[in-house]
Structure 1
Amino acid sequence: MFPSLSALLASAGTSPFVQALAIIIGTFILEDAATIVTAMEVQTGQVSLGVALVSLYIGIVVGDLGLYGLGRLAALWPPARRWVAVPGTGQQGPDSQGWFGRNVFRIVFISRFIPGARLPLYTACGFFRASIGRFAGAAVVATLIWTSLLFAVSLRIGQFLIDHLGAWKWLGMAGFVLTIILVGRIVATVRSPSR
């Protein structure tokens, strides 16, 4: 992911459109890594700050809306509806749709900051027909906050890696991404209820 996105951004030269497209595609693969690599490319001067941030925001929000859409499509598939039915009734739990509708902003906002929570919760929002407008608004706000914070930290760390590791900066960046992933896994494990 690191060298390939970086190489693609470098080969895009000064074409903001191609750079933006590469960043958006990168967010579909692994959004936190794409954010970190893009920040590193901004730090080296390969990508402008504006192209980087706008592309990251667009890619991440479009990906979030895609997860919501997958949930809506799953709701049309009869076996999926049976999987979420209350045993013996064939019906969804009491007021599932109402609960997701009332809590969509909170669900989206909190799950943005809990690793591994976006896929199941965003698709559930779509499955239970939470308001697409409220979902999209929450996704935009949460993305602006989380991505901006991660991008700012990555800029700082990226500059440190460039200054101190030179050609080995990618190894340091890979370590940073792994740290983000591992910390997320640890937080998810600690927050999960014991069985």
Structure 2
Amino acid sequence: MFPSLSALLASAGASPFLQALAIIIGTFILEDAATIMTAMEVQTGQVSIQLALVALYIGIVVGDLGLYGLGRLAALWPPMRRWIAVPHADGKQKGDDSQGWFGRNVFRIVFISRFIPGARLPLYTACGFFRASIGRFAVAAVMATLIWTSLLFAVSLRVGQFLIDHLGEWKWLGMAGFILTIILVGRIVATVRSPSL
């Protein structure tokens, strides 16, 4: 991921379209790493800050909507619907409870999972599967992306400048350590957080 995004951006040259495309593809692979690497490329002057942020926002929101869409598609598959729709003793379906819960908590789910690495895939697809409002989901995804990505990007710009100033050619090793730290902190937060949202 590290050299490949950098290589893609370098091969894109001065073409804003190709640079944006490379960043968007990077967000589909690993969002946080793509954000950090893009900030480093902004620091080195390879990419403009405006193009970087717009491409990151677009890529991440499109990826989030894609996960929601995968959940909706899974709900159309009869074996999956039968697996989820298990009757309770009171005659209600298990899926009915989940659908109501996801519908009521879509903003909370999106915001909490945005800040916990690894939580987006299961929770965003579950939002789609249980038919949480696509409009509310999209608004929450955009708002959470603007907050998280902007914060991570701003921190990465500062860290990137420090690494360029102090590590020179070894800056990529420092950036890999920074990415690993972000992932590990997210994992620690996820394990400390109680299971119920």
TM-score (norm 1): 0.94
Where do 1:151-166 residues align within 5 Å? 151-166=153-168
1:91 Cα deviation from its structure 2 partner: 3.0
Report the alpha carbon displacement of residue 81 of structure 1 after superposing the two structures with TM. Answer: 1.5
Question: What is the CA RMSD across the aligned residues, in angstroms?
Answer: 2.0
- Measure how far apart 1:192 and its partner are: 5.0
Residues 85/160 of structure 1: CA separation in 2 closer, same or farther (3 Å cut): same
The whole-number CA distance in structure 2 between the counterparts of 1:105 and 1:194 is 15
Q: Using the alignment, how far apart are the partners of 1:181 and 1:93 within structure 2?
A: 32
Alpha-carbon distance between aligned partners in 2 of 1:61 and 1:131, rounded to the nearest angstrom: 16
Counterpart-to-counterpart distance in 1, 2:120 and 2:195: 18
**Unaligned residue ranges in structure 2 (runs of 5+):** none
- Measured in 1, the distance between the counterparts of 2:160 and 2:169 equals 12
The structural deviation recorded for 1:85 is 2.8
Cα distance, 1:36 vs. partner?
0.2
- Cα distance in 2 for partners of 1:171, 1:82 equals 48
- Alignment deviations for residues 127-178 of structure 1 (CA, whole Å, 9 cap, x no partner): 0111111100000000000000000000000000000000000000000001
Aligned equivalents of 1:10, 1:174: Cα separation in 2: 19
CA distance in 2 between counterparts of 1:101 and 1:191 reads 22
CA distance in 1 between counterparts of 2:71 and 2:140 reads 17
Cα drift, residue 17 of structure 1: 0.2
Which stretch shifts more, 51-60 or 9-18?
A: 9-18
The answer to whether the Cα contact below 8 Å between 2:36 and 2:153 also exists between their aligned partners in 1 is yes
**Structure 1 segments unaligned to the other structure (5+ residues):** none
Over 3 Å counting, the alpha-carbon distance change for 1:8 and 1:74 in structure 2 is same
The count of residues paired between Structure 1 and Structure 2 equals: 193
CA–CA distance in structure 2, aligned partners of residues 118 and 42 of structure 1: 27
* 1:193 shift after superposition: 5.0
Q: CA 1:18/1:194 → structure 2, altered by over 3 Å: closer, same or farther? A: closer
Cα 1:194/1:138, change in 2 over 3 Å: closer
The alpha-carbon deviation at position 116 of structure 1 amounts to 1.7
**Map 1:61-76 → 2, pairs under 5 A:** 61-76=61-76
Identity %, equivalent residues: 91
Cα gap change, 1:20/1:162 in structure 2, threshold over 3 Å: closer, same or farther? same
